[in-house]
Structure 1
């Protein structure tokens, strides 16, 4: 009994797009912000504490222009690496820009806005046993 051509041809598996885990996205974010001279960069592990993300990154830019450039460069780096569904909020005002890369949320502030909202204290203090870490930790 002969096999038909369709039956003898191996089925091709769908090509999956690269999937990055939270640690890879976090490392990319921290490296890019450091390279672009962001200041006071910290990250907070949220895993197991909330479902919004695994990590939160908070950084400061020196001016509106610097905050905007940091956000745009970071979003471009995510997209270049194949991170899907990256959303940015807060441009063009650029006093507080949020970049949502699904597992990692990045907040970039101008200094006075960061001081006013102080979200890293809120998040690290609200999480039992949580702590904020600088890139130097």
Structure 2
């Protein structure tokens, strides 16, 4: 395993690696939400879409692999069996990869953003 000692990995480094992996793997509509000071769950949330269940699973698997090899970050993930919504928990950054219809149904961006605010698009 490559990567940095776990004590040297910051949430900013994880976020940068997440955004790069998502971009490299053609994730769509990538949105980043800064949650520092708003919840103890995580510092950042990233929400994105894949065009199909197959792409959703592939994006998520590649992200977990990239974080492990680049930073030594071991992530937990759920939802690969259906590919509708995969959640990747890195500790400091939580990533949601959706099929577009499922993303529209749950509208996580609206839940975490204050009224009238729009999410910061990562692309």
TM-score normalised per structure 2: 0.90
Question: Deviation at 1:135?
Answer: 1.2
Structure 1: runs of 5 or more not aligned? 1-15
Residues 5-16 of structure 1: pairs in structure 2 closer than 5 A:
none
Alignment of 1:135 with 2:114, yes or no, is no
**Aligned residues of 2:48 and 2:96 also touching (Cα < 8 A):** yes
Alignment of 1:17 with 2:17, yes or no, is no
Q: Write out per-residue CA displacement over residues 5-38 of structure 1, whole angstroms, 9 at most, x where no aligned residue.
A: xxxxxxxxxxx92431111100110111011111
In 1, Cα distance between equivalents of 2:73 and 2:23: 22
**Aligned residues of 2:5 and 2:72 also touching (Cα < 8 A):** no
Asked which structure has the greater CA Rg, the reply is 1
Residues 1-137 of structure 1: pairs in structure 2 closer than 5 A:
17-18=5-6, 19-125=8-114, 131-136=118-123
Q: Spell out structure 1 runs of 4+ moving beyond 6 A.
A: none
| Count of residue correspondences | 119
Question: Deviation at 1:85?
Answer: 3.7
**Aligned residues of 1:43 and 1:133 also touching (Cα < 8 A):** yes
Matched residue of 1:99: which SS?
strand
Determine which structure has greater relative contact order: mean sequence separation of CA pairs < 8 Å that are 6+ residues apart, divided by chain length.
Answer: 2
In 2, Cα distance between equivalents of 1:87 and 1:56: 15
Q: Write out per-residue CA displacement over residues 62-113 of structure 1, whole angstroms, 9 at most, x where no aligned residue.
A: 0000000000000001111234341000012110000000000000000000
Structure 2: runs of 5 or more not aligned? none
In 2, Cα distance between equivalents of 1:47 and 1:100: 16
